[in-house]
Amino acid sequence: MALNQSRPKPATRGPGQPDREGAGILTGLRDLIDNIANTSPARLAFSAFVVVILLFTGLLSLPAPSASGESTPLHQAMFTAVSSVCVTGLTVVSTATHWSFFGQLVILVGIFVGGLGTLTLASLLALMVSKRLGVRGKLIAQEAMNNAGRLGEVGTLLRIVIVTSVVIEAALALALIPRFLVLGEPFWQAVWHGVFYSISAFNNAGFTPHSDGIVPYETDLWILFPLMLGVFLGSLGFPVVMVLQQNGLNWKKWNLHTKLTIQVSLILLAAGAVLWAVMEWDNARTIGNLGAGEKVIHSLFASVMTRSGGFNLVDQNQMESTTMLLTDALMFAGGGSASTAGGIKVTTIAVMFLAIVAEARGDADVKVYGRTIPQGTMRVAISVIVAGATLVSVAAFLLLQISGASLDRVLFETISAFATVGLSTNLSAELPPTGVYVLSALMFAGRVGTVTLAAALALRQRSQLYHYPEERPIIG
């Protein structure tokens, strides 16, 4: 007699019960992010930017973002996505004519997200998915903001970063919108242009919604001054902005990072403006035919934008060779750490200069403003400089082979891409897809590589049970 065996019923989900399979996937994702954040926060930052770039590449590849209603080729969509998320500003197609309003909106969102920074973005990703940061993840986030607060306040600090960005960008937009209205633009177009330029300026992106950029406004201080102010504030970095919010202009209450960042930034701003003016004063192809006051405005604007802003009032191809070399140096220097600017950062330059001065004096320690700079910080500075120079050299070599362009144009474009500046000799638009991918990789490496390298090295300390005998090789 056969037994009547009852088959188990498949599990059903009631209206108020969670989907176990979906919950399992979410739990697995949380565990994965927790593991990455606790073991390799730099890898989490790298992964976060890759995911964001792929997302924006997919969006820009669709027909809707294109003004013609046709799909944009992959290499152009990827380059634009990388340039926006890495807040660079280099373009292979016209932002004003190639992209529809939706496409420009996608680019603008990419600029805002990318401007938050790699470590901030990675920390937000971990918070959104796993609802918490591991101890090592908090250390990385805290390091990104220069230890601005206690370890348990990292979530609050991340919110402050976002709120600060929104408030500054809103203030810049409110300053720009009335001017566009005065110039005769319709209300909503003026609002759009004001918002676009404010986000692009504070995040040091350099994208413009006008086909001829900001050249028509080359003497309009109502537009130029907010752009310069936004770029300069963005280049200081969130840790500096937070210190200024808390302590104002009280120099004694500033920490060492804030003092060095502002001091070196002002030195580079003044020196860059003076040198740019001297080199271009009589150049009829750029500012030679302008009045003295207009020349001063151009020089100051160029100095601010060269270190990462990306907006330009003159054709970069028409500058003197000496001016292009000066621009290369300022672009490579960049802005402040944990900022929307690129480059090797002004504090890196400050630390290396102070180390040279200490060596020349025969001092055992590198000291400034009553503080001693640790040896580990100098090793990180050297690593960032060497890594940056290596990336630029390799990319320049590849582009020379691919494009056949002159060395000055290739070097200018590669440094602009690495330092996420966005100033261009129009070489990007002339490159074949292979060259476009090289520049895309360089923009990504410039925005993510040196920052995560510095953060990883700063927190990577292995205890040693023994030391080898010291022996000094001959240097120099």
Cβ neighbours of residue 129 closer than 8 Å, sequence gap 6 or more: 26, 29, 30, 33
How far is 221 from 235, CA to CA, in rounded Å? 20
Q: Is 313 helix (H, G, I), strand (E, B) or coil?
A: coil
Residue 214 lies in a domain: yes
Please give the C-alpha separations between residue 467 and each of 364, 372, 378, in angstroms, as whole numbers.
Answer: 20, 23, 20
Please give the C-alpha separations between residue 213 and each of 96, 229, 300, 455, in angstroms, as whole numbers.
Answer: 9, 18, 18, 36
Concatenated DSSP letters of 196-264: HHHHHHHTT----SSTTTTGGGTT-HHHHHHHHHHHHHHHH-HHHHHHHHHHTT-GGGS-HHHHHHHHH
Residue 254 lies in a domain: yes
Q: How many residues does the chain have?
A: 476
Let me know if 135 is exposed, middle or buried by CB neighbors in 10 A (0-12, 13-18, 19+). exposed
Residue 4 lies in a domain: no
How far is 83 from 307, CA to CA, in rounded Å? 16
Does the pTM exceed 0.75? yes
Range of the domain at 182: 28-459
Which pLDDT does position 43 carry in this prediction?
67
Residue 179 lies in a domain: yes
Residue 326 lies in a domain: yes
Residue 345 lies in a domain: yes
Question: Contact 375/355 with Cβ under 8 angstroms?
Answer: no
Question: From first to last of its 476 residues, what are the pLDDT tens digits of the chain?
Answer: 444 444 444 444 444 444 555 455 445 545 545 554 454 556 667 777 888 899 999 999 999 999 999 999 999 999 999 999 999 999 999 999 999 999 999 999 999 988 876 556 655 555 544 445 554 455 555 555 554 444 444 556 677 778 888 999 999 999 999 999 999 999 999 999 999 999 999 999 999 999 888 999 998 999 999 999 999 999 998 888 888 888 888 898 999 999 999 999 999 999 999 999 999 999 999 999 999 999 999 999 999 999 889 999 999 999 999 999 999 999 999 998 878 888 999 999 999 999 999 989 988 889 999 999 998 888 888 888 998 999 999 999 999 999 989 999 999 999 999 999 999 999 999 999 999 999 999 999 888 866 565 555 555 555 667 778 877 787 77
Residue 281: CB atoms within 10 A of its CB come to 15
Residue 16 lies in a domain: no
Number of domains comprising the chain: 1
Cα-trace Rg, the chain: 25
Which pLDDT does position 34 carry in this prediction?
54
